[in-house]
Chain A
Amino acid sequence: TQLLEQSPQFLSIQEGENLTVYCNSSSVFSSLQWYRQEPGEGPVLLVTVVTGGEVKKLKRLTFQFGDARKDSSLHITAAQPGDTGLYLCAASHNYGQNFVFGPGTRLSVLP
């Protein structure tokens, strides 16, 4: 059973466009992480959010944790080809242990 849902599953956009991907669950989580994974590599951590309503920015990436800590979004402004990859969210019920991963959003940014 998939505890975390991510949408969309696939996204193909042109360079310079903005996009938002989502991570949703019916469960409340103590912490949530976003990763980006490129082919042939392991996931790379982008951000960890722990407080409901928390917003974090990493250059052109904006991450938000829902008020109820059941969902999160990742917004990318002016996407670049280097943003291409599989975006994974991962959430923990017990404070940083037993992370559950979502199925991912595969993003392709075309030049």
Chain B
Amino acid sequence: KAGVTQTPRYLIKTRGQQVTLSCSPISGHRSVSWYQQTPGQGLQFLFEYFSETQRNKGNFPGRFSGRQFSNSRSEMNVSTLELGDSALYLCASSPYGGVYNEQFFGPGTRLTVL
């Protein structure tokens, strides 16, 4: 099986712009979660989508949004970019959730905001 893919791998934007990141989960996986990773805050949960519905949400401002399509692919959007949004954005897919919710991470998109 192909792993989780994320595009683009690297992105440079300026303050005030918006950005859309894409994640293709492992075939058959219905849950996609997004995380932000920074040196100062570590890995922080953004949100999770399951069968096209947002099931869980972390503590991030409304500038961060996402969606999931019927083929389970997911996109994450950040509007009005701030310097502090510079981070590695990771998505993780899992088959169905549950207590053994085994998450498989993609390589991430490195976003730099200038």
Contacts from A to B (Cβ < 8 Å): 2, 30-31, 33, 35, 40-45, 48, 50, 88, 90, 92, 95-104
Contacts of B105 in A (CB 8 A): 35, 42-45
**CB-CB nearest 9 A-B residue pairs:** A96-B101, A42-B105, A101-B43, A95-B99, A103-B42, A96-B99, A96-B98, A31-B99, A43-B105
* Closest residue on chain B to residue A35 by CB atoms: B105
Contact (Cβ within 8 A) A88 B43? yes
User: Nearest Cβ distance between residue A7 and chain B, in whole angstroms?
Assistant: 14
User: Nearest Cβ distance between residue B112 and chain A, in whole angstroms?
Assistant: 15
User: Nearest Cβ distance between residue B21 and chain A, in whole angstroms?
Assistant: 13
A104 to B37, CA, bound (A): 12
* Closest residue on chain A to residue B90 by CB atoms: A42
Can you list 23 A-B pairs, Cβ within 8 angstroms, ordered by A?
A2-B42, A30-B99, A31-B100, A33-B103, A40-B107, A41-B107, A42-B107, A43-B90, A44-B105, A45-B105, A48-B101, A50-B100, A88-B43, A96-B94, A96-B97, A96-B100, A98-B45, A98-B56, A98-B58, A99-B33, A99-B103, A101-B44, A103-B42
Chain B 76-112 near chain A by CB (<8 Å), digits 1 or 0: 0000000000000010101001111111111110000
Indicate if B4 sits at the interface (CB-CB under 8 A): yes
Contact (Cβ within 8 A) A42 B92? yes
* Closest residue on chain A to residue B96 by CB atoms: A96
User: Nearest Cβ distance between residue A4 and chain B, in whole angstroms?
Assistant: 9
Contact (Cβ within 8 A) B99 A101? no
Residue of B44, B92, B101, B108 most packed against chain A (CB within 10 A):
B101
Contact (Cβ within 8 A) B99 A50? yes
User: Nearest Cβ distance between residue B107 and chain A, in whole angstroms?
Assistant: 5
A97 to B97, CA, bound (A): 7
Contact (Cβ within 8 A) A48 B100? yes
Contact (Cβ within 8 A) B106 A92? no
